[in-house]
A and B are shown apart, each in its own frame.
Chain A
Amino acid sequence: MSLLARFKQSLFRWRSDGTDPLRLGQRRIFIVPSRGGLLFALALVVMLLGAINYNLALGHALVFLLAGLGITGMIHTFRNLYGLVITPGRCEPVFAGQTALFPITLDNDRNTPRLALELAAQAEFPVVTAIDGRDQTRIRVPLHAAERGWLALPRIRLWTRYPLGLFTAWAYLQPEMRCLVYPQPISSPLPASSPSHAESMPYGEGGQEDFAGFRTRQPTDSLHHVAWKASARNGGEGSLLVKKFASGTQEELIVDWQSTDPTLPEDARLGVLTGWILAAETAGNVYGLRLPDQELPPSNGDAHCLRCLEALALFRI
């Protein structure tokens, strides 16, 4: 690590804060005059010169009161951040190209509210929030997810100008938070399924051909397959029902790396695979995933879908 980087680290404490709640102490908060504060200071200097020039006793008093107001404002701006407790949350996965939202809980254990707190991972997308006295609020810091894989939350800046806007107080936070980013799905027609394995698989009852009554939903059944009307019929009290079909043959789809166009770049091929997985899940198919370095046996349901997406997201990472 270069000397400068180490200096920055020790000065600004840019190392990871971990996942524990963190209370902002005075060593973490920095404060400088804002642009409005500089304008205010300039106005005060001009006013002081005017007061001296015209020998205005009350003019002096006014300028000094305003200077005192500025100093008090500085303390109160600092206080708006001081003692704030920040708890990192868990981030929901997103697809590449979407915006990842990192949830963070802010706790205010003071009686007075803290207003106009702004947080941003990227300066263009600040989140503004306010917390009442003895209350907490959960905010989600947006961050653009450009690539698949793990998206780590970079250093985020938490700042405020409240109450007077003459000073900007800020703190850098780096909670250990990351977001799983799935490849960006590319929609293309599903490849032909491979019925050869159908007989050997025990999923005879899950097909979609002939309706043969209901069965109660198992946790592995996708929510897409729930027969909502039927479930609601007995007052919504009972368990959810899933339609049962009397199809003997079950087509099973293997989403295979090899079946994508090899001329495409790797991310595009993964995108195509992602699109297929999503399409297969929506259609209620039984599907498996075959990648050069791993294979997921055919199944269906939300959990299976997420497993496949995760495998695609972390492929060769």
Chain B
Amino acid sequence: MSTSARQALDRQATPWLFASALVTTAPHILHQAYWLNALAGLLMLRAFHLWRNDERLPGRWVLALLVLVGCSGIFMEFRTLLGRDAGVAMLVVFMAMKLLELKSKRDAVVVVVLGYFLLLTHYLYSQSIPTGAWLLFALWLVTATLIRLHGGPACTSSVTLRYAAILCLQAIPFMLVLYLLFPRISGPLWGLPSDAHAGMTGLSDTMSPGSISRLAQSADIAFRSHFTEAVPPKHKLYWRGPVMEDFDGMVWRPHDSRSGVATLENLSPPIHYEMTLEPNNQRWILALDAPVQLPENVSLDATLMATQRQPITERRRFQLAASLDYRFNRNEDPRTLRRNLALPQGINPQSRALAQRWRSIENRPESIIGQAQALFATEFTYTLHPPLLGENSIDEFLFQTRRGFCEHYAGAFVFLMRAAGIPARVVSGYQGGELNPLDDYLVVRQSDAHAWAEVWLEGQGWVRVDPTASVSPTRVETGIVDALPFGEPLPAIVQWRASWLRTLRYRWEALNNAWNQHILGYDPQRQRELLSRLGLPETDWRSLATLLGIICTLLVAAMAAWTLHRPPPIDPALRLWQKALGQLARRQVDCAAWETPMAVAQRVREQCPELAETFQNVVDAYLQVRYGKSNDNLKPLREAIARLR
């Protein structure tokens, strides 16, 4: 049994293995350390060079040394050999090294299985449509390699590739059945390595000058929302993230203790929507202000922020409802109010003095707020790259630079309000969004990240004030693209103004959304829904496994019957002859199936003399094919029959 496993690898199969190694490792180039890419590339090049010159492969000790070097390099880079990134790096290096060890067919099979395994690791980084398409291509090539390995030199490349395509296509029905019916378990099964969800962008839980403007330069999608009814106007779309109450002169932070309750009075009917949140590795879900209905496992804290117990590490769907007009905590805890008046001592004296002056002129909070908004409406510029600020950041911003992004305005506004004795705090989140007309999903990107302020007024509770709206009303009315002058470092994709480009982007994003919703979003919940729609509610995994087994067996049987069925060999000459007889039957010359061609020709001469000569040609050609020297030349027969018409 093991004889063929020990068989030497045939030389012409090696390029296939190189190709497989290349397509399965290539996408990792994008997110791996440079030295790892270089090492893997050099090893592959060396292996290719050895193969081309038909030189001896390196010995066992050299390989052991290489493994040692590779592993210690990876250990120094990642400080572990087990995490996600380190594991992937190990696989890539092993794949490259295995190419230096291609001696037998068994080594080659290991390369192929390693290749299949590497395909999976790409999904740790991206499950987008292009990744899926590339991996399908890679799967095809790796399968062709496997066929080439076992078929030997008799396998030409075109035959191999075609056969691989046929096998992959025939595997698709099994994949669909298994995908839909395999009992789904929501992971993780065990603790994930700490870097499992590294590299996610999103709102952070602190705010300092520059933190949101940096985020706003990313076109990544933060979440999508689908409203059951009409989409509310843009200036009402405030998606609430972390609320920051503590200020140390530079950085705004949420307050640690989350005591207290949120009491909400709704003034407008709830608006229902479904939110598909991209993973951000944070606990908050960015519910629309103010959230009134929450799904299970999601709770509201005293600052009206909806949070989940676990960080959101994968795309999640939530059913939510919001009330756009509300009164929030009219009877706020006095401790909270005190907290929202606190300011660090000794800094920003000019701003304090300005607030004191406003307060001495007119003590009504509304008029103080109006003063501040009027200040921002003059001489201030809304920009993504404001100048750096020093220790007295708010003084410098308000009286010298006067250029800032929303975090500057929100921070300065809250500072002024607190200095004037009005409880105030910063709220971060997203504002607005873009409606994709193709699938009616509202797309909210990182570039829609925003910060605004909330002030507490007697009898009204917490009231939202967006100082950015005073500086740049378009930011809130239509969006960030129109609010910023041309040349600001916004991602190109959101700036596409030409309508065809925009349509293209809408299409692509709608396709991605469908992919996310229907293919990637197929989870245990969706599986249950599908089964109950199929009339199998409350199916446990045992009956699911039985159903799966039955369907797979039927599929195997059907496929076996189809591929093993041997159609009776059809003789092309006979088929042509029968076609000629059919022509005769149309002209009322009847002849039996057992009559010889000569007898038929005789009958034609008797019954249909005008056809005799043309038919004689048919008979001659047929006999030539049957008994002549060149019995595979059907052309004369075909032509003779064509003349019969």
A interface vs B, CB < 8 Å? 26, 34-36, 39-40, 43, 46-47, 49-69, 71-73, 75-76, 78-79, 82-83, 109-110, 113, 115-116, 118, 123-124, 126, 128, 130, 161-165, 168
Contact = CB atoms under 8 A, between A and B. Distances in A.
B188 A66 contact: no
A64 B174 contact: yes
A168 B188 CA distance: 36
> Most chain-B CB neighbours within 10 Å: which of A34, A78, A110, A124?
A34
Given A51-B120, A67-B178, A78-B560, A165 B171 contact: no
Given A65-B168, A113-B154, 12 more contacts: A35-B2, A43-B113, A54-B124, A56-B123, A56-B124, A57-B519, A64-B174, A68-B175, A72-B174, A76-B167, A123-B1, A164-B143
Given A53-B187, A79-B564, A113-B154, A165 B149 contact: yes
A83 B188 contact: no
Given A53-B189, A130-B152, A71 B147 contact: no
Contacts of B564: 26, 75, 78-79, 82-83
Contact of B167 (A58, A109, A163): A163
B460 interface: no
B314 interface: yes
A82 to B, nearest CB: 5
Contacts of A40: 113, 116
Interface of B: 1-5, 106, 109-110, 113, 116-117, 119-120, 123-124, 127, 131-132, 135, 139, 143, 146-147, 149-152, 154-155, 159, 163, 167-168, 170-175, 178-179, 182, 184-190, 192, 196, 314, 519-523, 552, 556, 559-560, 563-564, 566, 569
A78 B172 CA distance: 20
Given A68-B173, A115-B152, A49 B563 contact: no
Nearest to B109: A36
Given A75-B556, A115-B152, A165-B150, A65 B113 contact: no
24 contacts: A51-B120, A54-B192, A54-B196, A55-B186, A55-B187, A57-B520, A57-B521, A57-B522, A60-B182, A61-B175, A61-B519, A62-B123, A62-B135, A64-B182, A65-B171, A66-B139, A69-B167, A72-B170, A75-B563, A116-B151, A126-B4, A162-B151, A163-B146, A164-B146
Contacts of A55: 186-188, 314, 523
Contacts of B314: 55
Nearest to A165: B150
A166 B178 CA distance: 20
A82 B192 CA distance: 47
Contacts of A75: 556, 559-560, 563-564
A71 B563 contact: no
B190 A53 contact: yes
B187 A68 contact: no
Contact of A68 (B150, B178, B185, B188): B178
A82 B564 CA distance: 7
